[in-house]
Copies of this chain bind each other. A is one copy, B any other.
Amino acid sequence: MTERNIQVAELDRLAVEDQEVEIVERKGIGHPDSICDGIAESVSQALAQAYLDRVGKVLHYNTDETQLAAGTAAPRFANGDQPEGQKGGEVIEPIYILVVGRATKEYQGTHIPVDSIALKAARDYLREHFPALDLETDVVVDVKLGEGSGDLQTVFGEEGGQIPMANDTSFGVGHAPLTETEQIVHTAERELNTTFHDEHPALGQDVKIMGKREGDVIDITVAAAMVDQHVTSITDYTETVEAVREFVTELAQKFTDRDVHVDVNTADDVENGSIYLTHTGTSAEQGDDGSVGRGNRANGLITPNRPMSMEATSGKNPVNHIGKIYNILSTDIAETVVAEVDGIRDLQIRLLSQIGRPIDEPHVADAQVVTEDGLAVSDIEAEIRAVVDEKLADVTDVTRQVIEGDISTF
């Protein structure tokens, strides 16, 4: 028998799937905001790992404030005469990325090279995810990590089994299942940036997808940066754009029977040569700045139809930053409940922390549910409560998974 304050109730609205208008957005990993999210989170993982390796526990840090100032580029179609490795255009003014945050630099006489670790993590992240970005010419990565304040710089997690205390009054919110439109938007970006990209290296990482559903009509709008070294002509470009359109259209049909219309790079003016061609695969090369926490929420989507937390999840310390933990955990709980409990059409999990209390004992854990027809909340309340309770008991799993990079935060 648990003492956790878990409340299960009916959600006082239609399931999002049943609402008349739905809007969903996902900024791909190459969007300037997502680049910042990705760097912030990978710096966070590297720091957490370094602390564990060197002092056996994670010390205070937060690196959730990376800022990207866009560069300037002159993309150009690849030319057969250009030598391999120098095809296409070039970056004229490098992208500038400033990793900002706090991190404990010394612990009981051990110095932790947090700035060097952050620098390496950021550069490794860029190298791994942006094959067309030349780290020697196209980007400057700078680091400005301060020491944390005395009060916050306390150490936590000294004994493995202990539950940290909430450091703030904050809340997290998660949902499940994803609507058809949400699934299409999320999956399309992931698939474009993996499966499709493998066959079409012309597609850059900066893929932004907007989904809009009015009744039973779903419009998917894709803005996809193309990479000049893999595009030889305007024809080549338009063919790739069309390939994206077909790929997304096909993919969408796996998720829905509704009408789906897909548009790609609608702002292009092909006749005048005004197209979405880049040298690096991201609009950060030309005028689009970015920062952490401005794009996707912890579940990878922007969903104005649903409650969202403003919290920037990426880069936060996963041991004691309650906003990060609860946003990830609430999503995890929602997905698990829906996977294990039948009859749920829409589920919303909210976790509200209580400052100074163990994080497995939220002030309130609130499950709101829209049931399938013919089912009452009371029919499944106990099942839901059990999952929520179990997940809360295992709250430190979230921390572990985040440190190991098993959970995406954006």
Given A137-B116, A149-B287, A169-B210, CB of A69 within 8 Å of CB of B74: no
Given A294-B293, A355-B267, CB of A90 within 8 Å of CB of B102: no
A354 to B290: give the CA distance in the assembly, Å.
23
Beta-carbon contact of B65 and A91 below 8 Å: no
A366 to B215: give the CA distance in the assembly, Å.
14
Q: Which residues of B contact A291 (CB under 8 A)?
A: 65, 67, 291-294
- A334, chain B: closest CB distance, angstroms: 15
Beta-carbon contact of A142 and B140 below 8 Å: yes
Q: Which residues of B contact A12 (CB under 8 A)?
A: 13-14, 19
Nearest CB to that of A292 among chain B residues? Answer: B291
Instruction: Answer yes or no: A401 CB below 8 A from chain B CBs.
Output: no
Beta-carbon contact of A21 and B210 below 8 Å: no
Q: Which residues of B contact A292 (CB under 8 A)?
A: 291
A303 to B267: give the CA distance in the assembly, Å.
33
Beta-carbon contact of B113 and A74 below 8 Å: yes
A112, A136, A312, A356: which has the most chain B beta carbons within 10 Å?
A: A136
Instruction: Answer yes or no: A393 CB below 8 A from chain B CBs.
Output: no
Would you list which residues of chain A between 109 and 143 have a CB under 8 Å from chain B? 111-117, 119-120, 123-124, 136-138, 140-143
Nearest CB to that of A115 among chain B residues? Answer: B93
Q: A298-340 toward B: CB 8 Å interface, digit per residue (1/0)?
A: 0000101111111010000000000000000000000000000
Pick the contact of A90: B100, B116, B310 (CB < 8 A): B116
Beta-carbon contact of A266 and B355 below 8 Å: yes
Q: Which residues of B contact A137 (CB under 8 A)?
A: 113, 116-117, 119-120
- A227, chain B: closest CB distance, angstroms: 17
Beta-carbon contact of B140 and A287 below 8 Å: no
Q: Which residues of B contact A173 (CB under 8 A)?
A: 304
Instruction: Answer yes or no: A380 CB below 8 A from chain B CBs.
Output: no
CB<8 Å pairs between A and B, sample of 7: A12-B19, A13-B13, A65-B67, A93-B113, A94-B115, A117-B137, A304-B350
Residues of A at the B interface (CB closer than 8 Å) are: 9, 12-14, 19-21, 23, 25, 62, 64-65, 67, 69-72, 74, 90-94, 96, 98, 100-102, 105, 111-117, 119-120, 123-124, 136-138, 140-144, 146-149, 151-152, 169, 171, 173, 210, 212, 214, 221, 266-267, 274, 286-287, 289-295, 297, 302, 304-310, 312, 350, 352, 355-356, 364, 366
9 closest Cβ contacts across the A-B interface?
A: A13-B13, A67-B67, A149-B287, A92-B113, A116-B137, A65-B289, A12-B14, A304-B307, A120-B137
